[in-house]
Structure 1
Amino acid sequence: MAYLPIFVEAQRCPCLVVGGGRVALRKVQALLEAGAAVTVISPEARPEISSLARSGKLRLLAREYLRGDLRGFALVFVATNDPRVQHAVSREAGECGIPVNVVDVPELSSFISPSTLRRGALTVAVSTAGASPAMARRIRERIGRLFGSEYALALEVHRAARRHLRAVEADPGRRALRMARLAASSLPARLRRGDIEGANRLLLRHIGAGLEGLGFAPAALAACEPASEVDR
């Protein structure tokens, strides 16, 4: 199978998870992190899912899936080992034109979920087209060793640098060149080492403003955002 890699805006997107176990919990957590409006259908659910339902963060229907349950949803995940439910949900999703992922059953899915690495605004998704989720995880872990949590802060600095350049540099070509030079610099490594003086020199050279000039208080530079590595 050939897949098109895309990132979907999921804010307030109505999403359904069929299943209530460990894998379903991972899907739920990923969807909530993306801001989706989540419903779970399962006769039994892990305590974490039940707790999220009680706190109003998702809707839990404590029963079996019924035909017609997919009405109104934009995205569906099936996280159950019951082949009958897997086939039934996949069939209804196909009839309704709703994208569906049946976990670990690519032949019943219209999309698959990659193994994902997150560092703040940086997201790296790895897929083997369903051939080997274990290999996808291993590749993600190797990438994670190359891109540490300092990239979360580095990207926030880049975001601020772009805003600054839009205000002071009228030529789009020159703005792009200056940002490209910053991207090729050792800024992430300097942030990782806590070399604020060195980071300031780089920014002044390429952007014309240091960290404080870009709006970063000294306290904000003390720690990089914790890494998040998820296999969803």
Structure 2
Amino acid sequence: MDCTAPWRPPGPGHPRPGLVANGTAWTTEIGWQLPDREPTRPDLRIHRTAPAAVAREILRLVLPVLDDEAARTLQDGARARLELLAEIGHAMRAQGAATYERAGLLVNTSGITWSSSGCRYSATLHGTNPVADIQFQGPARAVERAVAHFLPESAPGRPVPAGIRGRLERRMAQVLARHGHVEQLERKGLAFGSGPGPYGHVAPAFDPAARAHDITPASVDVHGVGVDFLISLAPHLAR
């Protein structure tokens, strides 16, 4: 990564698909190159230059786009899906979690489940789509810690939307608002995430009248999670 040069697309000899990243003292600009597509301007701007932060955002936001392009040429979608599932399982087992792989509830879906730190996780892949839907259930405190790994870095001081109904919903909204957009759904529960990257929703409380303690049961679904990003989170999600 060139941290001083102005934006420039990759040259003719750049491998396909590929990435180019240029940076200044405060911002990193990233473009991706695909078959029949040359980046003429940045596809993504990150207001960070630390290598770890940039790598995280590439895993979270960029690689799913490249993987989706590559998946369009696959002939055997079921095999590719099971191979990705095996990679997820291997990463989680390497951290000590026991995994269970199964056919999904819908046609052409496959899933894997595991438990860690009081949470039960389920990752589902659909067709040849290389991004996963993640569901996790467990005590509110553990769920709050888990969902934060999928979202932009926190920025304390972001406002919490007014008028959130439900004790658990208000508690979760205070956490999610630090990471970006959050709003209440018509049937209670919360929606969070906007723009590129993972997004999802918080299920309504099992008991709307109950207080929202650290051990109150909570359930969250996160969509649009790249497999590489999920694997990178194994040390946080499977210990």
Q: TM class by shorter-chain length?
A: under 0.3
Compare the two structures and name the one with the higher helix fraction. Answer: 1
What is the TM-score with the length of structure 2 in the denominator? Answer: 0.21
Could you say which structure has the larger radius of gyration? 1
**TM-score, normalisation: structure 1:** 0.22
Answer 1 or 2: which has greater strand percent. Answer: 2
